[in-house]
Structure 1
Amino acid sequence: MSVTLTFWQLITLLLAFFAAVFAGARLLLSQIDRRLDDRFLSLQEAAKAGDAIIHETLRQHINEESKNSGQLIELERQLLRWEARLPIDYVRREDFIRNQTTIEAKLDGLALKLDNSQTKGVEHA
């Protein structure tokens, strides 16, 4: 069995074949393009959702930081009040020892004067 084709029939067949291939390729590329658009759209929506979550998290951190800074300022004020009260409420060991030594030296001097006056009184009597 032999098939004979004229030149114009061959060209028509080739054009039909290439048109079918072109239509298939175009259909395939349009589907790929639609898929890519859908994917980019979903990625863009996910990025927007991620940005919203990040902004909310940052807002929460800023609010917490402002609360913490207020607490830190209050703690600093309490520390300054405590430092101001500290010399009134607390006596250092060295200060206590110095004051005690001074008092004991004065008592010793007073005792010596009493002894001297008693010995003078005994000598005069």
Structure 2
Amino acid sequence: MTVTVEFWYLVGLLLGFLGVVFTFGKLLLGEIEKRLDQRFQTIDAANKAAELRLDQRFQAIDEANKDASKHWDTRFAELMDQNRREADGWQRIEKDFLRFQAELPLQYVRREDYVRNQTVIEAKLDSLALKIENVQLKGQQQ
């Protein structure tokens, strides 16, 4: 049994088969492209939703940063004010101490100086008492 096929008939069958394969390939690629488009659309939608969430988070973070910045600015201002008041207090104490040091020699006498002055005064009183006693004795003898 021999099968005889003419050349043009074989070419027609081959072209028909290639046409069917091409058509099925085109349909298959069209479906793949549709599915890819759907995937990309869902990915884009998910990305937009994620971007929206990130924007909201960034806005919340920015608000928190602004609040924290305000808090720290007020806290640092309070600390600087407290530091300034403390420095003023220390300056006042230092001035008072310097004034005290300047007035100290005028109002107080050192112990050695006091003892010396007291000794001098007592010696003068003793000599005065001796003179008075001598005068009294001379007055009694006359």
**Structures share a fold, TM > 0.5?**
yes
Unaligned runs of 5+ in 2: 1-15, 138-142
Structure 1 position 34 matched with structure 2 position 45: yes
Candidates 110, 117, 124, aligned match of 1:113: 124
- Report how many aligned residue pairs link the two structures: 117
Q: Work out the CA distance in 2 between the residues paired with 1:70 and 1:11.
A: 85
Q: Work out the CA distance in 1 between the residues paired with 2:80 and 2:94.
A: 21
Match of 2:61 in 1: 50
**Highest CA radius of gyration, 1 or 2?**
2
Alpha-carbon distance, 1:70 to partner: 2.1
Candidates 74, 82, 107, aligned match of 2:93: 82
Question: Counterpart of 1:100 in structure 2: which amino acid?
Answer: R
CA RMSD of aligned residues (A): 2.7
Alpha-carbon distance, 1:121 to partner: 4.9
Identity in percent: 12
Output the TM-score relative to the length of structure 1: 0.75
Q: Work out the CA distance in 1 between the residues paired with 2:131 and 2:73.
A: 84
**SS of residue in 1 equivalent to 2:94:** helix
Alpha-carbon distance, 1:17 to partner: 0.8
Structure 1 position 16 matched with structure 2 position 27: yes
Alpha-carbon distance, 1:6 to partner: 2.4
Worse overlay, 114-123 or 10-19: 114-123
Alpha-carbon distance, 1:51 to partner: 1.1
Give per-residue Cα distances to partners, 1:97-124, cap 9 Å, x unaligned. Answer: x622211110011112223344455566
